[in-house]
Amino acid sequence: MRSFLIRSLRYLNGRTLSPFPTEAGHMEVNVFQRTAGVVLQKSIREGFGLVVAEAFWKGKPVVAGRAGGIPMQFPAGYEDYLVESTEDCAAKLVFLLEHSEIAEGFGRAGQAKIRTEFLLPRLIRDELRLIREVIG
């Protein structure tokens, strides 16, 4: 399985995975993410990386490139799943697919991080705290 994943990732490097990228809407993407065992986001350049936040919010483990805002979304203790090479990417994917308890724990940790650090209630709390400090 590992050699198949490595060959597949090398083949897909820079190519679109879906044969219908412009036809996949929000509902389809939601279904893909919710049914995935692991979500892969191997970006070279990235802003915040909303795909990562969406996957974590759905309780899915993520293997991703160390680009843009992706690392800041990873829960503590799971930074090893930020990968550089194709081989490391394949190894991490295989590991998570073969160790479902670890994958589930990773997904729960990611969901908790998104809940506490990136959702609107936290942003509102920050704004209210700032207003309280300014007003005195």
* Average of per-residue pLDDT across 82-86: 93
Structural domain count, the chain: 1
Domain residue limits at 97: 2-135
pLDDT exceeds cutoff 60 at 123: yes
pLDDT in the model for residue 121: 87
Q: Which domain CATH number covers 62?
A: 3.40.50.2000
pLDDT exceeds cutoff 60 at 18: no
98-130 residues labelled b (16+ CB within 10 A) or e (exposed): eeeeebeebbebbbebbeeebeeeeeeeeeeee
pLDDT tier, 120 (very low <50, low <70, confident <90, very high otherwise): confident
